């Protein structure tokens, strides 16, 4: 971990590596939270690669900001934020994805990715698995608070966390 980390905006050619980090992070974080049949699906990696290819190439997702963190040219973290899905939301950005491989926890990569796709002063919201105390503590450290909204999707309980800023919204 002595080599420097580079955070940059993602390109479509990053899709395979982003899928690898996405699946690895799910396996490291969500075993026991997410259904085993989802995590153990032999098609999961290919499905995530299709997802990332679409996010980076489909015109419908052009407003999203997608970033990767690399160490020694290997992708070790991914993040994606974009417009909120709920019209009239108090926040201008929704953080949809932020994953860092477990070996890199505590190195500042998550914060760098967050600041790249959301920005430290932007109003934003996100859904985080519950329980996931490490992630929830990370988001609290970055100004997010649980707003009491809970969602259960595919058996996974999630809480919404929001950060309302008095600053001006970020321009893409």
Domain that holds residue 112: 5-163
The per-residue pLDDT of the chain, averaged, comes to 93
Q: CA 147: distance to chain centroid?
A: 19
For 156, residues 6+ apart whose C-beta sits below 8 A from its C-beta are: 30, 33, 34, 129
Question: Residue 167: pLDDT band by 50, 70, 90 thresholds?
Answer: low
Phi/psi for 69 (5° steps) reads -115, 135
Question: Residue 172: pLDDT band by 50, 70, 90 thresholds?
Answer: very low
- Residue 169, domain member (yes or no): no
What percent of the chain clears pLDDT 70, i.e. is strictly above it?
95
Could you tell me the CATH number of the domain that includes residue 96?
A: 3.40.630.30
In whole angstroms, what is the distance from residue 162 CA to residue 7 CA?
24
pTM over 0.75: yes
- Residue 170, domain member (yes or no): no
Over the stretch 19-60, which tens digit does the pLDDT of each residue have?
Answer: 999 999 999 999 999 999 999 999 999 999 999 999 999 999
The answer to whether the beta carbons of residues 67 and 116 sit under 8 Å apart is yes
Provide the domain count of the chain.
Answer: 1
């Amino acid at each position: 971990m002595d080599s420097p980390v580079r955070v940059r905006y993602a390109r479509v050619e990053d899709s395979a590596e982003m899928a690898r980090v996405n699946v690895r992070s799910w396996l490291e974080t969500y075993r026991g939270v997410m259904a085993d049949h989802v995590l153990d699906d032999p098609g999961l990696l290919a499905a995530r690669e299709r997802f990332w290819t679409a996010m980076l190439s489909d015109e419908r997702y052009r407003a999203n900001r997608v970033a990767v963190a690399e160490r020694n040219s290997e992708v070790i973290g991914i993040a994606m934020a974009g417009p909120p899905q709920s019209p009239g939301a108090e926040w201008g950005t929704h953080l949809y994805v932020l994953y860092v491989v477990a070996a890199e926890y505590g190195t500042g990569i998550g914060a760098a990715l967050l600041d790249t796709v959301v920005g430290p002063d932007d109003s934003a919201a996100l859904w985080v698995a519950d329980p996931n105390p490490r992630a929830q503590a990370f988001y609290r450290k970055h100004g997010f608070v649980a707003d009491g909204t809970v969602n259960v999707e595919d058996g996974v309980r999630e809480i919404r966390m929001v950060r309302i800023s008095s600053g001006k919204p970020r321009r893409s």
